[in-house]
Structure 1
Amino acid sequence: TKRLAKLESDLAGLKQENNSLKASVDTATAQLKSAQADLAKAQAEATKATADMAKAQAKA
């Protein structure tokens, strides 16, 4: 029937949208993990720079 065909079409559209959303979430998750890694690296570098500065000031 036409109603069944419409429901099947709607379902196919929703499945495609769901797959697209999953891909977007996966991309965002990967970007977040990368940003977190970059932040951790920057924090480690800042900590080292602070320690180096303290050593330099102690020598001065």
Structure 2
Amino acid sequence: MAIEANLQQQAKEAIYEKIIEAANNIESSHTSASVAPVLKTLAEAYAWVTYPNQSH
């Protein structure tokens, strides 16, 4: 169980880093239309990893 929790935490951190990168891309390039689907997908992935027993 500890290994699974560690993997879950690593996945959350990796997804969160990608969310920050995508958000920074919006701020720096003002291309929100192209980054919005990426942010949506990353947010769904983060929610799934954080709360795997809930439907998303």
Gaps spanning 5+ residues in structure 2: where?
32-56
CA RMSD of superposed structures (Å):
1.5
Number of matched pairs: 31
Aligned counterpart, 2:2: 29
Runs of 4+ deviating beyond 6 Å: none
Aligned counterpart, 2:15: 42
Q: SS at 1:45's partner residue?
A: helix
Gaps spanning 5+ residues in structure 1: where?
1-27
Separation in 2, partners of 1:36, 1:46: 15
What TM-score, normalized by structure 2, do the two folds share? 0.51
Structure (1 or 2) with the greater helix fraction: 1
Separation in 2, partners of 1:48, 1:57: 13
1:5-52 per-position Cα deviation (integer Å, ceiling 9, x unaligned)? xxxxxxxxxxxxxxxxxxxxxxx1100000000000000000000001
Task: Return the letter of the residue paired with 1:30.
Answer: I
Higher RCO, 1 or 2 (CA under 8 Å, sep at least 6)?
Answer: 2
